[in-house]
Each structure stands twice: as structure tokens, then as C-alpha cells.
Amino acid sequence: MALGIERDGLSPYGTARRLFNACAAAALLVAALVMPSAGAAAAETVRLLALGDSLTAGYGLPEGQGFTARLQAALRAEGYPVEVINAGVSGDTTAGGRARLGWALADAPDAAIVALGANDMLRGIDPAVARANLDAILGELKARGIPVLLAGMLANPSLGRAYTDRFDAIHPELAEKHGVPLYPFFLEGVATDPALNQGDGIHPNAAGVDEIVRRILPHVVMLIEPLTGAGERPATRG
């Protein structure tokens, strides 16, 4: 005995089952198109290494107010999925940065900012030594295919014309040699301004860090933009 009325060889039960299967398949297709997997989402994040000294590390500032944290927040506010890795060590010279470069690269960065040289200058280290260390750092990053933004430093005029001329030429010459973009002076707009520095007159306060980030941000965007994937990218604010 038939359990239901059949039409065109299909029972009401069979029709309902086929309709359910079709809807389920459609739902899975939509989910696959709209919701990327966790692995795909993670792959889109750009890991940006900030190799530097106390200016990078955030010396004297609460957590979250240092350069790397504020730069990461600014980039994400612009729509760029970036993780900024804080590889700043207070008191570090170019020699220190060179010595720990391999350790820093263990974080597998996609791009890097190199901001070293301030402590070499403050200690009066021979500019030729600082140049050689930075040259080696940039050479290693280039060999690994890691794009770099080189952040420059300027010598204190009190060190004398002969020293300042040699020191100030380091970053521009190396940027040209290695074909990397140069941000000429990391402390541009902040150095010597009491309102933007801590009591020591050397390290930026929270407002100073925000000013540094505001000025360097367009340069960082140009560095990481090719790594963020194809398609339209968010426009940066001036």
C-alpha cells in the first residue's frame, strides 16, 4: 500500500527531502564564500618588525603608548591588518641591533623598519662603525627578501661639524646603496620640543610618540601596502 500520493514518480516525502538537501548545499556554499577560514584570515596579517632602540621600545611610557603600539593602532585604524613587532631595546647601538638581528627575524616578519643609530651618536662612536653595522643589517634583510623602511637619525651639532657631517650621511647613503626608502629623521617635529618630550629631553612622551607616528605613517603605508593583497586599499589621511 502506498504511503502517499505520488506524482511524476516522486512521493511528497521524496520531494521534501530533495528540497532540504538543495537548501543545505546552498547554505554551505554561501558560508564558504562569505566566511573565510581562520587560516586565510591569519595569512592576510602583515607582520612588521620595528628594529630599534629606546625610541622604538617605548622607554618611559606606559604599555600601549610606545611607538610600536601606537603605530599598529594607527595602521589598523586605516584598515591595514598589521601586527607591529616591538624589537626595540633601550640603549642599543647599531652593533647591538646587528648582533640580535637573527633573533628578531625568528618572528618571521614580512617587512621591517630599521631605526638605529641614536645611541652610536650619543656615545660618539665612529660613524664608520655605525655605517658598517647598518650596512650589514640592511644587507641581511635584503638577502631574505624583506622590504625595509630605513629611519634616519641626525647628530647633535655639539659633536662638531666633522662628526655630524659624517654621521648625518650614513642613512641617506645606505638607503641609496640598498635601494630602500628613507624616512630622514625619526624624531622630525619632536626633537627639542619640551612639550613633546619627557623630562630627559631625549625620549618622546605620549604626545611626542603620536606626532612621530603621524609623520611616519604615510611612509610605513607605502612600505606595507604591496603586502596587504590585491584590490582596493584604504586611502590614508593626511
Question: Could you list the active site residues?
Answer: 54, 200, 203
Identify the band that residue 21 occupies on the pLDDT scale cut at 50, 70 and 90: low
pLDDT for residue 143: 98
Give the separation between CA 54 and CA 52, rounded to whole angstroms.
7
pLDDT for residue 36: 42
The rounded percent of the chain whose pLDDT value lies above 70 is 78
Closest by Cα among 200, 42, 192, 82 to 70: 82
Beta strand 148-151 with 111-115: parallel, antiparallel or unpaired?
parallel
* Torsion sign (Cα): 222, 223, 229, 230: positive
Positions of E strands within 5-121: 46-52, 82-88, 111-115
| pLDDT digits 0-9 by tens, 64-88 | 999 999 999 999 999 999 999 999 9
Question: Do 150 and 183 contact (CB within 8 A), yes or no?
Answer: yes
Question: Do 203 and 54 contact (CB within 8 A), yes or no?
Answer: yes
| pLDDT digits 0-9 by tens, 124-138 | 999 999 999 999 999
pLDDT for residue 18: 53
pLDDT at 178 over 70: yes
pLDDT at 219 over 90: yes
Give the separation between CA 121 and CA 123, rounded to whole angstroms.
5
pLDDT for residue 163: 98
In this structure, the number of other CB atoms found within 10 A of the CB of residue 11 comes to 14
Give the separation between CA 31 and CA 153, rounded to whole angstroms.
50
| pLDDT digits 0-9 by tens, 153-176 | 999 999 999 999 999 999 999 999
pLDDT at 216 over 60: yes
Mean model confidence pLDDT for the chain: 85
Distances (CA, A) of 206 to 67, 166, 212, 213: 9, 31, 10, 11
Distances (CA, A) of 235 to 43, 63, 184, 214, 238: 22, 29, 23, 15, 9
Residue range 48-53: mean pLDDT, rounded: 98
Among 37-41, 50-54, 75-79, 93-97, name the one with the lowest average pLDDT: 37-41
